[in-house]
Amino acid sequence: MCGIVGYVGKKNAKNAVEVVLKGLKKLEYRGYDSAGIAVVCNNLLHIRRSVGKLCNLTDKIAQDPISSNIAIGHTRWATHGKPSENNAHPHTDASNSIVIVHNGIIENYADLKSQLKENLKDFKSQTDTEVIVHLIKKYYKGDLLDAVKKTLSKVKGSYALGVICKDDPYTIICARQEAPLIIGVGVKENFIASDIPALLTYTRDMIFLENGDIAKITKDKIVIIDKEGNEQNREIKTINWDPVLAEKAGYKHFMLKEIFEQPRTIEETLRGRIYPNEGKIHVEEVKLNKEDVRNISNIYVIACGSSYHAGFVSKFLFENFAKIPTEVDIASEFRYRNPILSEKTLVIAISQSGETADTLAALRLAKSKGCQTLAICNVVGSSISRETNHVVYTHCGIEVGVASTKAFTGQLTALYILALDFASKKESLSKEDIKKYLQELWEIPVKIGDFLENAQELNKIAKLFDQKKDFLYLGRHVNYPVALEGALKLKEISYIHAEGYAAGEMKHGPIALIDESIPIVSIATNSKVYEKMISNMEEAKARGATIIVIASSNNREVLTKSEHVIYVPETDEFVSPLISVVPLQLLAYYISVNLGCDVDQPRNLAKSVTVE
């Protein structure tokens, strides 16, 4: 789950160190426990590594500068070996002639290491990665590409790899297997990176490597060899993302910016797919016709974390709108529990990054059982999006904050569209109802925009509660998953313990937790379960809890049932999660800021979880 960047260009044209450091800065969301860079200068390798965030490495280089026309760099999220300078990448062989950066896991590293027993003293780290560089050195007879090929034929696991050698200061060798790697195509310069934002400042022309590809890159030439050993001309894709979108645009944190982007990202995800006036839905990417949809016997939704919560909401949508039995599963559980699947099962994988290892593995399991597969992804060209039969992209742009916000509402939006599309194809909802829901969806961006005008109000509440040690979040029906998501947001960015519960479950145990010290965040927007929510709030209040309620703007009753009311614009109950989650995102955000936590890069987390 690390980030890698590499650059090779004309001598003195551009300082490779600067390019790589700037690229790594954009990839810090992939990991930030240590960072490093290697260059070749005067036929010698120079390496700088540092524990902690990238700024520590930048400071180190400022004190002890290096420059070159070629560099590879890495920002790490530890899997094997604790965060330390020795474990930080790049890793080099004993003679300091070859150096590598790696993202992924080498599953057979212990085996490979034992085969290099005469070199054991040369190992300087506890990483799984280091064995690769020693093997490359073993096979190196003057042709770096050949040595990398031979090495990778022995390796089991996942990798995105960048390799340079002091004897050839004009070449980067890179390779990809189950970990993302792109090549940025420049003029008299070329780049490699784990993700698009790292390169947008320099080029928009990118090649997405396929599994098994190995490439030899010089400033003028890119040669790609596929897993069969054949040279391939991979398509160059032009990326139209605005690099400014990847910046904070005046907000204090990416997370806040991304919360405020939601009216636009929801609108973008809806645009061109729904036509509320005509009651029509057109999802071009989904090639399932009426008969195909009618043939779906059941749906499994698989995902992790916030994406799982979005998937949980969709259970209500597929069952109520399209009348298709739907199960939702955490991908890491699904993949090991032998689920009952058939060719009539549609498996929907939801993933912002499209690289989450468990979701990818669960998807592959479904494919191996002959299921139809569909992905909801944000990152174009990501592994999950490439491996499914159908993919619906959420048009959210880059999400940099580690805590998912606009990606979550983007996923929900895509799921609403899909469920209504299925309902329309199955005629399981009347035309009037479809029109009504499309209209409700269409109005959501404006409603969230209106709500966000008073976002600061949430900070007043946050200030009253930021010293609390535990929170409970309660919801029912479609807002039960939203309660789970609200609790996840709070714990991941403020490190406060929080639990989400189905409000009806309180009496079956959790109510024992309630006393004056626990605030309860209750989602009680207008719906058929509203009265039930009010009863659950009364029960909690009777036991001394302080209640913060999310309620529809026309509701006055809640003022007598709670200490703090957060009003959100009124909407249909099925569509309400798109709005009710927004105050929960803001509450978590302000509490985190007030506590001085690292909002965008919370401890122990990474944006893209590409390991099990």
- The residue ranges that bind ligand F6R (CB under 6 A) are 304-307, 351-353, 356, 359, 403-404, 488, 492, 608-609
Confirm whether 607 is a catalytic residue: yes
Q: Which residues contact 595 (CB under 8 A, 6 or more apart)?
A: 466, 494, 495
70 CA to centre of own chain: 30
Interhelix angle 144-152/130-139, rounded to 10 degrees, is 120
Which of 2, 165, 174, 304 is the catalytic position? 2
Report d(CA 229, CA 162) in Å as an integer: 19
Q: Residue 192 in contact with residue 167, Cβ under 8 Å?
A: no
Give the residue with the Cβ less far from ligand F6R, 579 or 609: 609
Q: Residue 118 burial (CB < 10 Å; 0-12/13-18/19+)?
A: exposed
Compute the least distance from the CB of residue 605 to ligand F6R, in Å.
8
Handedness of CA 457, 460, 464, 468 (dihedral sign): positive
Compute the least distance from the CB of residue 362 to ligand F6R, in Å.
11
Report d(CA 487, CA 561) in Å as an integer: 22
Residue holding tokens 């006036």?
277
Compute the least distance from the CB of residue 469 to ligand F6R, in Å.
21
Give the residue with the Cβ less far from ligand F6R, 214 or 310: 310
Handedness of CA 307, 310, 409, 345 (dihedral sign): positive
Q: Residue 372 in contact with residue 571, Cβ under 8 Å?
A: no
Compute the least distance from the CB of residue 359 to ligand F6R, in Å.
5
Compute the least distance from the CB of residue 349 to ligand F6R, in Å.
8
Please give the angle made by the CA atoms of 458, 464 and 468, to the nearest 5 degrees: 115
Q: Residue 260 in contact with residue 267, Cβ under 8 Å?
A: no
Compute the least distance from the CB of residue 208 to ligand F6R, in Å.
17
Give the residue with the Cβ less far from ligand F6R, 139 or 495: 495
Q: Which CA distances in Å does 412 have to 28, 271, 608?
A: 26, 15, 19
Read out DSSP for 77-144?
Answer: --SSS-SSTTTSSPEE-TTS-EEEEEEEEETTHHHHHHHTGGGGGG---S-SSHHHHHHHHHH-SS-H
Compute the least distance from the CB of residue 67 to ligand F6R, in Å.
36
Q: Looking at residue 462, what DSSP letter applies? A: H
The radius of gyration of the chain from alpha carbons, rounded to an integer in Å, stands at: 26
Q: Which two tokens stand for residue 501?
A: 């519960």
Give the residue with the Cβ less far from ligand F6R, 404 or 522: 404
3-state secondary structure of 395: coil
Compute the least distance from the CB of residue 489 to ligand F6R, in Å.
6
Which of 26, 216, 447, 607 is the catalytic position? 607
Instruction: State the CB neighbour count (10 A cutoff) for residue 264.
Output: 16
Q: Which two tokens stand for residue 183?
A: 């090549």
Residue whose C-beta lies closest to ligand F6R: 305
Give the residue with the Cβ less far from ligand F6R, 351 or 592: 351
Catalytically active residues are 2, 607
